[in-house]
Amino acid sequence: MPKNTQWNELENHLRQLVSTTPLTEEIKWGMPVFTFEGKNVLGFAGMKNHFAVWFYNGVFLTDTEEILINAQEGKTKAMRQWRMLGLEDLDDEKFLAFVKEAIENEKKGLVWKPDKSEKLSLPDILEAKLKSDPQLKKAFEEFTPFKQKEFAEYIQEAKREATKVSRLEKIIPMILEGIGLNDKYR
């Protein structure tokens, strides 16, 4: 991941603030992630148009001023993000208050529990392919329900039919080889 130097001052300042807490810095997914007793608490990275600090269980943070946002409505459940355009957007006191509260929440064991999902609903194109190819169906059924859902959502999220077809063609070899959609990231 290329380093965007426009955020160096903000990143260094945040590191200084975090160093006053019991969090430990680690590199995960190519970015700094700060942990407490092995649990991810916060991370940050400079993007093209903003700098983001995210709290992994931010849904539990007290945010009366509504500073934190859900970066992906409908997808992200627990993570909350503070977006900044520069050092002037950072309030040290508020940031440290969020960090301290996040640490306390970790100590209490507050964790977002995913909702029990309903029965897996396959996109028509995937269902038809599985019915017509017994070997593919057998290989698909060997995946955990979670991984089956990842494949289904990958196709379903495409807006154009052509994209759905190309995504199906991409995942067929993966399914036959027993490779989950996101295995290379785990």
Task: Assign residue 82 the CATH number of its domain.
Answer: 3.90.1150.200
Q: Are residues 142 and 73 part of one domain?
A: no
Which residue range forms the structural domain that includes residue 95? 5-108
- Confidence at 173, pLDDT banded by 50, 70, 90: very high
Query: Mean pLDDT over all residues of the chain?
Result: 91
Q: Per-residue pLDDT tens for 38-50?
A: 999 999 999 999 9
DSSP string, 121-148: ---HHHHHHHHH-HHHHHHHHTS-HHHH
Single out the residue of 49, 14, 60 nearest to residue 33, CA to CA.
14
Q: Are residues 98 and 10 part of one domain?
A: yes
Q: Are residues 71 and 15 part of one domain?
A: yes
Q: Per-residue pLDDT tens for 83-136?
A: 999 999 999 999 999 999 999 999 998 888 776 666 788 999 999 999 999 999
Overall domain count for the chain: 2
Q: Per-residue pLDDT tens for 12-35?
A: 999 999 999 999 999 998 889 999
Of the listed ranges 36-40, 67-71, 75-79, 128-132, the one predicted with least confidence: 75-79
Looking at residue 82, its pLDDT comes to 96
Q: What is the pTM of this model?
A: 0.64
Q: What is the Cβ-side half-sphere exposure of residue 162, based on CA atoms within 13 angstroms?
A: 0
